[in-house]
Amino acid sequence: MKRQFVLVFTFVTALSLLLAACGGGGGKIQVATDATWPPFEMLDENTKELIGFDIDLMKAIAEKAGLDIEFVNVSWDPLLSGMATCQYDAAISAMTITEDRMKEFAFSEPYFAAGQIVTVRIDNTDITGKDSLPGRKVGAQLGTTGDIQGKDLGAEMKSYDDIGLAFQDLMNGQIDAVIADNPLALGYIAKNADKLKTAGDVFTDENYGIAVCKDKPELVEQFNNGLKAVQEEGLIEDLVAKWLQSNQ
């Protein structure tokens, strides 16, 4: 009797594990995002749901293309390596299209133009732009284009798990500057207008794209068609007005 129970129990456990393992995929397209990058992707403080420019855009594209998507909230550096190994089907996370990244995964057409900008404390007068950065302590989020740019400039880079920590450390006075995408930096400055300001102008030209796993080339086309459709409807302008206008 006891043995029978153990057998049945083992069988049921094994079966449920198996179902759980298969159920995970579920046919939905998994779209990764790092929801620490306002206003492109962040968590709504009340509902704890993903919100932001990218989230709205992705939902609209999925609707146009008739795709069933599911967001996965994941940190930035595992997101990058997860895309390279096709752990996720796609990623929309204010991701700049770069040559290095294009070797590892595919991209949709660009949907937004941004660039890097330097943020400093409001009382800082000696950092006037990117050229003042070599040798300074500069923060950025690990693996972002700001991080890469800072290293190329010869700054002493500190890489943070998320960009919010970098801005916090800047306000704490433990680093001299932060390099980040301009819409995001302007958002942080708007929220902390008494503490932060920009130094110099935007110094790179970058385009955000939706990353797609290499094994799913058909998704690129579907996303591009959906993107084109929503662009024609003027959704990008609507989203800029909704998410970015308040900062700029």
Footprint of other proteins (CB under 8 A): 76-78, 80-85, 100-101, 103-104, 139, 142-143, 147-148, 158-161, 165, 168-169, 172-174
Q: Which is nearer to other proteins, 180 or 230 (CB)?
A: 180
In whole angstroms, how close is the CB of 169 to other proteins at the nearest point? 7
DSSP 28: P
Which residues pair with residue 159 across a beta bridge? Answer: 140
CA 10 to mean position of chain CA atoms: 42
β-pair type (106-107, 116-121)? unpaired
In whole angstroms, how close is the CB of 154 to other proteins at the nearest point? 16
In whole angstroms, how close is the CB of 89 to other proteins at the nearest point? 16
Q: Which is nearer to other proteins, 151 or 197 (CB)?
A: 151
In whole angstroms, how close is the CB of 132 to other proteins at the nearest point? 19
Identify the CA nearest to 64 among candidates 242, 227, 236, 216: 227
Residues 153 and 199: their CA atoms lie apart, in Å, by: 15
Residues 72 and 165: their CA atoms lie apart, in Å, by: 21
Q: Which is nearer to other proteins, 67 or 211 (CB)?
A: 211
Q: Which is nearer to other proteins, 125 or 172 (CB)?
A: 172
